[in-house]
């Protein structure tokens, strides 16, 4: 039985298509010029053929203009995360014969999900066109991923990412084995775990932190976690999306009108409906929203 792991990952920037790729929000302000270069390179050579193929499997748009591009720092090498899971440089850069690539590259073309609900590929909100290993700073080697998020499939989520309300992702991976930082024992299932990992993970034994090195890693997905925005914000975002042809100022005026028509409670109910049905609303409903606005 492989181990299943998740961990939060910070977003270092969000880019938007629209002809040129410009940086919109740098949530931590710690994207380096080098990182920015590799991201821009990815976005400029992003394969539309791959997008078309991937779009069918994940049920996402095949039009590149429908996307925004959050850039999460997915994994930091050689630093145990909050769950006590460590991904060593040597593991991240290992060539995996099963995948015919280096381990960090298994992020590539993975789906973007919400809350690790990854069972059905068709519920994906996007995918990961690229993953980079950034190693210029010896003490801060890390994996940078580029996410393509389909704004037409989950408009409230897109809004949350652009506004900064959504500021982290969570990576999901499986690993064949884990190795204890204290005794070095390698376990292949929960039953094999040494007492250090079983009882004392993330505490200290004789001043040494108890964590586990993940071995035989395969990254499988990236998820948005947490509630990105209050229901009202979600409603507004969705309606804004429905009226995407309208000019910015028109929408703002329209929202003032809408909030006089619908009570807060009703807005929350509508928002819940949209949350669970975003991406499959009939065109007629979108046209109605266009008219309302």
Chain positions contacting Zn ion, by CB under 5 A: 180, 182-183, 185, 194, 196
Question: Which residue, 118 or 180, has its beta carbon nearer to Zn ion?
Answer: 180
CA dist 235 and 176 (Å) reads 42
Least distance between Zn ion and beta carbon 90 (Å): 19
Question: Which residue, 131 or 175, has its beta carbon nearer to Zn ion?
Answer: 175
Residue 246: HSE in the Cβ half-sphere, 13 Å Cα cutoff: 20
Residue 24, both tokens: 């919109």
Residue 187, both tokens: 């376990």
Question: Which residue, 200 or 255, has its beta carbon nearer to Zn ion?
Answer: 200
Burial 26-49 (b: 16+ CB within 10 A, else e): ebeeebeeebbebbbebbeebeee
Q: Checking DSSP bridges between strand 111-114 and strand 212-224, what pairing results, if any?
A: parallel
Question: Which residue, 88 or 102, has its beta carbon nearer to Zn ion?
Answer: 88
Residue nearest Zn ion, CB atom distance: 180
CA dist 79 and 93 (Å) reads 15
Least distance between Zn ion and beta carbon 131 (Å): 31
Q: How many CB atoms lie within 10 A of CB 145?
A: 27
Least distance between Zn ion and beta carbon 184 (Å): 7
Q: Checking DSSP bridges between strand 126-134 and strand 142-150, what pairing results, if any?
A: antiparallel
Question: Which residue, 210 or 237, has its beta carbon nearer to Zn ion?
Answer: 210
User: Hey, CA dihedral for 113, 114, 115, 120, is it positive or negative?
Assistant: negative
Question: Which residue, 176 or 290, has its beta carbon nearer to Zn ion?
Answer: 176
Least distance between Zn ion and beta carbon 29 (Å): 39
C-beta of residue 5 within 8 angstroms of C-beta of residue 173: yes
């Amino acid at each position: 039985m492989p181990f299943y792991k998740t961990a939060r990952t910070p977003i270092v920037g969000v880019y938007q298509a629209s002809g040129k790729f410009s940086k919109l929000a740098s949530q931590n302000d710690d994207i380096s010029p080098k990182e920015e270069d590799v991201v821009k390179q990815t976005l400029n050579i992003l394969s539309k053929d791959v997008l078309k193929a991937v779009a069918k499997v994940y049920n996402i748009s095949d039009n590149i203009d429908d996307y925004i591009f959050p850039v999460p720092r997915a994994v930091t090498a050689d630093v145990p995360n909050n769950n006590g899971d460590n991904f060593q440089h040597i593991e991240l850069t290992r060539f995996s014969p099963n995948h015919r690539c280096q381990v960090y590259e298994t992020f590539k073309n993975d789906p973007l999900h919400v809350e690790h609900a990854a069972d059905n590929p068709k519920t994906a909100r996007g995918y990961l066109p690229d993953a980079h290993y950034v190693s210029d700073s010896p003490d801060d080697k890390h994996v940078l991923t580029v996410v393509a998020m389909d704004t037409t499939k989950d408009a409230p989520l897109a809004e949350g990412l652009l506004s900064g309300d959504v500021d982290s992702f969570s990576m999901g991976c499986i690993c064949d084995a884990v190795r204890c930082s204290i005794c070095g024992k390698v376990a292949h299932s929960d039953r094999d775990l040494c007492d250090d990992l079983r009882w004392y993970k993330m505490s200290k034994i004789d001043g040494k932190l108890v964590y586990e090195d993940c071995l035989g890693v395969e990254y499988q997905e990236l998820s948005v976690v947490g509630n990105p925005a209050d229901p009202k914000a979600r409603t507004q975002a969705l309606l804004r999306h429905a009226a995407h042809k309208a000019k910015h100022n028109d929408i703002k005026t329209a929202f003032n009108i809408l909030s006089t028509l619908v009570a807060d409670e009703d807005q929350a109910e509508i928002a819940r409906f949209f949350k669970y049905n975003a991406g499959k609303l009939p065109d007629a409903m979108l046209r109605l929203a266009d008219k309302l606005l």
